[in-house]
Structure 1
Amino acid sequence: MKRWISIIVLLACSFSIAHFAADSSALATPNVISILPPLIAIAAAFILRQVIIALFLGIWFGAWAIAGQDFTALFKGLLDVPQKYVINVMNDTDHTSIILITLFISGMVGVISSNGGLIGLIEQIKRWANSRKSVQLSTVFMGFVIFFDDYANTLIVGNTMRSLTDKVKISREKLAYLVDATAAPLASIALISIWIGYEVGLIGVAIESIDGLNEPYAIFLNSLAYSFYPILTLIFVIFIAYTGKDFGPMLTAERGAFSAEPSVHVPELNEVKSAPQRSSCLNALLPILTLIITVILGIIVTGQGATITDILASANSLVALLFGGFLGSIVAIMMTVFQKIMSLEETIDSWTNGLSRVTTALVILVLSWALAEITRELNTANYLATIIADGIYPALFPAVVFLLAGVISLGTGTSWGTMGILMPLVVPVSWSLVSGNNGAVNPADMHIIYSSISCVLAGSVWGDHCSPISDTTILSSMASQCNHIEHVRTQMPYALVVGATAFLSTVATGFGLSWWSVLLTATLLLWFGLNRFGQSCQIPAYSTTQTSSLDII
């Protein structure tokens, strides 16, 4: 009851603010109303711990604001939620592709779970991953292997490692963090990934009007040294996995998983019960390798250009992932049927059973896209961008960009959208801040420009990690079968700690300290801070070798 009272108070305050903003001639358009829908969604998600209702409230409020902000607009906005905004995002081919990719990969996982392939793969991993530390490190390692795309990373690693982490009593929240922390941060700074093509393309557009800047890929490479948040996140997740120490809500979740009785798998009602299993890792490896190889080939085929950079910049990663998920499902089904592990009917039942596991997450994903559509109509990002005021001290500009990108990404739930909005603004502003009267930049001041560019990227990833309406955060929860709000709640303290460290590192380099000395100092701070304030669950390590492999799935 108290939660719903809090929601009523939240909505009442929001309507009051909207009424004042609409009636005030002193406020420009877009105004404060534009940031209320995502704020309502985020606040309601944490109050109710029910993200679907929270997203709906944010969308409804935004639809009301767009429909006229009067009493009748309440009903018009309510009807606009399904027939306008949800329909619009479902008609987007990229969104449809993501839904199909998720369904194909989930169906593939359903098949390899039933035919014994996942058991066999886990048995192979167990040969060296026989403790909590080694299982966590192997999860991080798999995240590093699948570096080229964050969607593929989360869906493959989360689904593959979930049963093994359950077995060694690692919480689903911890698994979701390990997956999320190695997805976007790694893809965003890897020298070859889908992200890089997009980022280099944005830099290329942003520098077209600046005579002193050329070669966008070279600029990107120079900016990588200042991408403190992605780099420190990858370092921190390794520290977390290696030490086994946690703090905050994650520590509570881990202790809860430790104290729980060993889980016993209970088949779902529609699960095939009589199907024989063969614990061969090839039944899982071949479909997964088919997925990965098809994605790589798809990127090459759909991309155009003479260089890797050109190919990545023009490649259609969603088409590549769609082909990969589709062929992965076909290979999994064919291997199961041809080996007579299950009949075709039973195999298809396993495939559809895999789809049922992601239904709720897909609803959340569609609603988050609808909320993003609302924020675009209300010009939320442009309003937040006005935070950049004239006369900022050049040394502090990159740090301001980092915070602004984080806020926009948090509120809109899209790191790519944030980069697309800010990059064309940040590059010219950073150039003008450090250029002299003749329009030339002293080479000693180029770090301000490089750092500003990197902070658009780093801040976008940071806000994405903190946002409950981010698609990659939702996919991480879905692949790990973790309660979405619990994933956000347990991950946020880690993201805030690393974000604060990255912010201070950016300030330090802005005032002239070398990036490598700052990165080394930040790494040591995170290491000693984790060992000082982090705690491990004081129970004996749970060995996977003591259990039967038949209990894994």
Structure 2
Amino acid sequence: MIGSVYALIPPVLVIVMVIATKKIILSIFSGIVISALMIENFQLLPALKNIVEEAVGIFYEDGVVNTDNILLILFILGLGMVTAFIEKNGGAAGFARWAQKRVKSAGMAQMMAVILGILIFIDDYFNALTVGEVSRGLTDRYKVSREKLAYLIDSTSAPVCSICPLSSWGAYIIALFAVLLPRTAAPLNQFIHTIPYNFYAIFALSVVGLSAWFNINVGKMKDVASIYRQERAIRHAETMVQKEGEEKASDLVVPIVLLAGISFCMMFLTGLIASGSFDIFRILENASTYLSLLLGCVAACIYCGIRYFKLHGKHPVMVAAEGIRAVAGATSALLFAWVLIDMISALEAGTFLSGLIVKYAVPAVFLPFLLFLLSGVMALATGFSWGVFGIMLPISVQITQSLNMPTEMIYCCLGAVLSGSVFGDHCSPISDTTILSSAGAQCRHVDHVVSQMPYAIFSGGIAALGFLVAGLTESLVLAFAVQILALVLSAILFRISAMRRSNVKKIDTRRRTVPGV
């Protein structure tokens, strides 16, 4: 079953169960069990042993402690504590009051979240949790659902990081390029050449900007139950504002600035020490990202704890415990997802999918389009875009070189892999970035996955169209022209449809007010 079509069963099962049951941990655990049984030829005891070994291997394997995973979990728990302190200290209410004077609509509140997501480009985990913390109170006030906020966060984390060389993603991709294309341009220049071809990232950002500015809500975003839950949060936030008169925006801003500032400084320092170079890209490549984030979080926790004691005269331990409980669900989901990702990797689902391109001798003109789709399916199934990068980028280079494709089309194919990986990652319920976006917005994870899907599929459709045109014409300009035209026409059609529905509702309302109708 390893390396065959059967390797796709566990990820498909998880996706179906998530949609059907709306229970993310149960769904992922089911995927883990079926994966282990398939790996061990359906022998129960070996399968159970495999599950335990994979679970332990998250933190300790072959005599080596996985410090990155430990530091990341501690960072998430620490950020939960910071969140609880900010709320108890009145930082969210104070920031909402400050922003109320400047932000006058739901669209502006959402655009602030989008802009923050673009500015915090250094790491997708840091982005997801930090933007959610800063934006949540303001979007609540303007009746923006938590699901919509999660979508805004998710669509400005991985897409931004995947096109920014000064990010953890950029450093990883540049390091891969250095191995894949050693005797061509410098790795940084290679990465820069792929940016215009990262169609999904570019148009996902375009769509999220339009969706935020015009407050466009489709599908699950319009769910009445979601609006009701959100309105309860609004009333709670407004009650807090009325009840307390001394909340300060600084009780939100200072901890976030402290967290970000110390994290950035420590990334630079650890990268400088490890690389021994002042080259910013080598520094980013060698930086201890999760250690830096944790140290920044510890500093923010200490500040918030001291501030809480000064304001309330109470011990901060109980508040810290509340914060840990608040993120326990997201942390558990992430741990389960890590185990499933390792299981799916052992089943070699990616190897099977990538082998299809070689097996069926795909024509060169369709290669970018198919690489995008295949990378998307792999990322959807595995929930791990970085793993897809590692599998698909070498394969795409080998295929393009064997077909003697022009250099520009090689970059197009590399961009297709990057685009498809981010697209699949966005749609996957087991993606760590998607899970943390739900945690940052504090909404149910399954609601975020379902509500984000129409936006992601729409952006993915535009990207797929672009890769099809690019492959057929070998013209980046024409591909962009077609994609922009598709985006504009879709926006116009959506606007016309919305106006028609609005007019129908007005007519229906008038009829209801006429006696006898």
**TM-score w.r.t. structure 2 length?**
0.88
Structure 1: any 5+ residue segments left out of the alignment?
Answer: 1-20, 22-28, 267-274, 436-444, 540-553
Q: 1:335 to 1:56 in 2, by over 3 A?
A: same
The reply on whether 1:39 has 2:12 as its aligned counterpart is yes
For residue 241 of structure 1, report the CA deviation from its aligned partner.
0.9
1:174 and 1:531 map into 2 onto residues whose CA distance is: 22
Number of the residue aligned with 2:38: 65
2:296 and 2:175 map into 1 onto residues whose CA distance is: 25
Q: Letter of the aligned partner of 1:98 in structure 2?
A: L
Number of the residue aligned with 1:159: 133
The reply on whether 1:316 has 2:288 as its aligned counterpart is yes
Q: 1:525 to 1:74 in 2, by over 3 A?
A: same
Q: 1:198 to 1:172 in 2, by over 3 A?
A: same
Q: Letter of the aligned partner of 1:279 in structure 2?
A: E
2:78 to 80, 104, 107: 104
CA contact (8 A) 1:395 1:448 kept: no
CA contact (8 A) 2:392 2:417 kept: yes
2:260 to 292, 317, 320: 292
1:258 and 1:515 map into 2 onto residues whose CA distance is: 45
For residue 531 of structure 1, report the CA deviation from its aligned partner.
3.9
Number of the residue aligned with 1:227: 198
For residue 100 of structure 1, report the CA deviation from its aligned partner.
0.8
For residue 175 of structure 1, report the CA deviation from its aligned partner.
0.8
Identity of counterpart residues, as a percentage? 31
Q: 1:52 to 1:255 in 2, by over 3 A?
A: closer
Number of the residue aligned with 2:144: 170
CA contact (8 A) 2:426 2:456 kept: yes
For residue 41 of structure 1, report the CA deviation from its aligned partner.
1.2
Number of the residue aligned with 1:471: 432
CA contact (8 A) 2:140 2:230 kept: no
The reply on whether 1:336 has 2:297 as its aligned counterpart is no
Number of the residue aligned with 1:10: none
The 5-angstrom pairing of residues 421-440 of structure 1 reads 421-434=391-404
CA contact (8 A) 1:110 1:350 kept: yes
2:165 to 188, 191, 212: 191
| Residue range with higher mean Cα deviation, 245-254 or 367-376 | 245-254
What count of residue pairs does the alignment treat as equivalent?
487
Number of the residue aligned with 2:187: 216
CA contact (8 A) 2:96 2:141 kept: no
String of CA shifts for 1:146-178, please: whole Å, max 9, x gaps: 111111111011122222222221111111101
1:480 to 441, 449, 453: 441
**TM-score w.r.t. structure 1 length?**
0.83
1:428 and 1:235 map into 2 onto residues whose CA distance is: 32
1:281 and 1:260 map into 2 onto residues whose CA distance is: 22
Q: Letter of the aligned partner of 2:112 in structure 1?
A: S
CA contact (8 A) 1:118 1:281 kept: yes
1:450 to 405, 411, 427: 411
The reply on whether 1:418 has 2:383 as its aligned counterpart is no
Number of the residue aligned with 2:506: none
2:266 and 2:477 map into 1 onto residues whose CA distance is: 37
2:224 and 2:187 map into 1 onto residues whose CA distance is: 44
Number of the residue aligned with 1:4: none
1:501 and 1:238 map into 2 onto residues whose CA distance is: 15
Number of the residue aligned with 1:544: none
String of CA shifts for 1:399-428, please: whole Å, max 9, x gaps: 111111111111111111111122222212
1:327 to 299, 306, 311: 299
1:520 and 1:135 map into 2 onto residues whose CA distance is: 30
The reply on whether 1:50 has 2:19 as its aligned counterpart is no
CA contact (8 A) 2:78 2:298 kept: yes
2:197 and 2:355 map into 1 onto residues whose CA distance is: 24
Q: Letter of the aligned partner of 2:189 in structure 1?
A: A
The reply on whether 1:348 has 2:317 as its aligned counterpart is yes
2:379 and 2:327 map into 1 onto residues whose CA distance is: 24
1:301 to 257, 265, 269: 269
Number of the residue aligned with 1:282: 250
String of CA shifts for 1:473-517, please: whole Å, max 9, x gaps: 000111111111111111111111110110110111122353244
Q: 1:277 to 1:342 in 2, by over 3 A?
A: farther
Q: 1:255 to 1:362 in 2, by over 3 A?
A: closer
Number of the residue aligned with 1:370: 339
TM-align CA RMSD: 2.5
1:259 and 1:508 map into 2 onto residues whose CA distance is: 42
2:54 to 85, 93, 98: 85
String of CA shifts for 1:316-370, please: whole Å, max 9, x gaps: 2222212111212112222333xx202351x232222111111111111111001
For residue 193 of structure 1, report the CA deviation from its aligned partner.
1.2
CA contact (8 A) 1:120 1:280 kept: yes
String of CA shifts for 1:287-331, please: whole Å, max 9, x gaps: 111111112112211212332121122222222212111212112
1:456 and 1:344 map into 2 onto residues whose CA distance is: 53
Q: 1:508 to 1:253 in 2, by over 3 A?
A: farther
Q: 1:520 to 1:129 in 2, by over 3 A?
A: farther
Structure 2: any 5+ residue segments left out of the alignment?
Answer: 61-65, 238-242, 504-517
Higher helix share: 2
2:287 and 2:234 map into 1 onto residues whose CA distance is: 43
